[in-house]
Amino acid sequence: MEKYMQTLLKKIGEIQKKQTIKQTEGSRRGENFNVFNVLGLWSEEVKLHSAMLAELLNPEGSHGCGEAFLKIFIEKVLKIEIIDATNLLSKSVTTTEYYISRINNEGTEGGRIDILIDIPRESGIPSLIIENKIYAGDQSNQLLRYYKFAKTKYHSSENFKILYLTLWGSCASTISTGKDFSFDYTRISYAKNIIKWLEQCASFAYDKPKVRETIIQYKHLLTQITEYSMNENNKIVEEIASQDEYLKNAILICSYQNDIIKKAISGPITKALEYIKEMAKEKTKLEIKFMSNEFNEKGGKLDWGFSYFITKNQKTIRLCYIFDNWGLINLYYGILKDGTSHDIAVKPIFKYSNENWPWGWDWVLDKYNNWSGESLYNIIDELSNSTYDSSPFCKTILDSILNSLQLLNE
């Protein structure tokens, strides 16, 4: 078994190196350029994904294609036949962040719908309630609240359809539907449904180059997020599946996945984070402490985080790095209220701020945003192939420490 295990790991390493070379070459040719990535919007559900989908589905949208994209969506994605309702479709009203009402104390009514497409009832086509979930987790009774709203507004379940849109077509959790839900919702995915729909929309807009190219750019972004990674990983899967002994050992490795990730983070990752602390101390001549959290596990998914405590003249700020989602997904950082001296003037120095992050917070760069699977591999690969002083990963975190110092310099 040990011989097969070593051979398997060696082959996986060779395949991964070939893929890295291929990605590097593609980057040199400009294949990875995407305006939405450049603007840092790839993971913005409201600002990008909901806004883009709503604009395309809106008959009054600036694309100038009328109800065509909505018609394609209804026919090709929802598989609803449109007999003679085109003129009525043009009167549909599309709204993002549709406000129902304030969420009540029981959490069973109210909220905001990501996308509501109000289609004239005479068309015989149901109005569409779209809940868009790329990375955010389910909210309490979310779909249940939308169903109750729709029953009141449209009277019959035949007059509306709730769509649950995720990357891969996942089911909504009982957190969102309620434990004893008795209503229907339709699962659709970016990977299977939206990308294909965008291709059809781009074809329809052949005579509108700006519209067509924007749709193609957006479709490429979704491909990067979904299909690209899936297809590239298939090469490794095919190698694993080539021999029964490889399959058995791969399954064994998978059973230790969380333990392996813990070793990776507590080993080479933490070593780099500790070195960043020393780099910062050398540059600032201040007292800086590094603290890592204990690993937590929920539903088979890990959570972790770390902080830098920076002290000057008996004032301390806590620069904290936290994952927004279980599974080490969506890493963000900022000055956390807990652990920071309260006599420091409140002046947001990072992009966003709220009650717990009065001095501001922001998302980590996309390439370091997720610490699971291939993303973690790439971080460790970077650290092992460069010195810490020249590592972009280390520089990214070091810069956040140095930017935080302005709070102590005033």
Residues 65 and 152 in one domain: yes
Residues 271 and 189 in one domain: no
Instruction: Confirm whether 4 is domain-assigned.
Output: no
User: Residue 222 pLDDT more than 70?
Assistant: yes
For residue 400, what are the domain limits? 258-407
Residues 139 and 70 in one domain: yes
- Partnered with residue 113 across adjacent β-strands are 98
User: Residue 316: which H helix or E strand, with range?
Assistant: strand 315-325
Q: What is the pLDDT of residue 229?
A: 45
Instruction: Confirm whether 106 is domain-assigned.
Output: yes
Q: Give the tokens for residue 62.
A: 């600036």
Residues 168 and 262 in one domain: no
Q: pLDDT by residue (tens digit) across 147-165?
A: 999 999 999 999 999 999 9
Q: Rounded mean pLDDT of 26-39?
A: 59
Instruction: Confirm whether 237 is domain-assigned.
Output: no
Residue of 303 and 85 predicted with greater confidence: 303
Residues 50 and 158 in one domain: yes
Number of domains in the chain: 2
Q: What is the pLDDT of residue 40?
A: 62
Instruction: Confirm whether 276 is domain-assigned.
Output: yes
Residue ending a domain, among 187, 206, 227, is 227
- Contact present, 15 and 239 (Cβ < 8 Å): yes
Task: Using a pLDDT cut of 70, give the percent of the chain over it.
Answer: 81
Residue 60: band (very low, low, confident or very high) from pLDDT cuts 50, 70, 90: very high
pTM: 0.54
User: Residue 132 pLDDT more than 50?
Assistant: yes
- Contact present, 181 and 149 (Cβ < 8 Å): no
**What residues contact 335, with CB distance under 8 A and at least 6 apart?**
317, 318, 319, 320, 349, 350, 357, 358, 359, 360, 361, 404, 407
CA distance 329 to 323: 6
Residues 315 and 192 in one domain: no
Q: What is the pLDDT of residue 63?
A: 95
Q: What is the pLDDT of residue 225?
A: 79
User: Residue 239 pLDDT more than 80?
Assistant: no
Using CA of residue 248, residue 253, residue 256, residue 257, what is the dihedral sign? negative
Residues 145 and 221 in one domain: yes
Residue ending a domain, among 183, 210, 227, is 227
Instruction: Confirm whether 7 is domain-assigned.
Output: no
User: Residue 75 pLDDT more than 70?
Assistant: yes
| Strand order, beta sheet including 287-292 | 287-292, 305-312, 315-325, 329-335, 361-363
Instruction: Confirm whether 243 is domain-assigned.
Output: no
Residues 305 and 380 in one domain: yes
Residues 196 and 307 in one domain: no
Residues 333 and 386 in one domain: yes
Residue of 180 and 16 predicted with greater confidence: 180
Residues 214 and 264 in one domain: no
Q: Rounded mean pLDDT of 340-360?
A: 91
Residue 142: band (very low, low, confident or very high) from pLDDT cuts 50, 70, 90: very high
- Contact present, 335 and 350 (Cβ < 8 Å): yes
- Contact present, 345 and 335 (Cβ < 8 Å): no
Residues 91 and 201 in one domain: yes
Instruction: Confirm whether 317 is domain-assigned.
Output: yes
Q: Rounded mean pLDDT of 168-173?
A: 88
Residue ending a domain, among 227, 250, 284, is 227
Q: What is the pLDDT of residue 57?
A: 97
Instruction: Confirm whether 285 is domain-assigned.
Output: yes
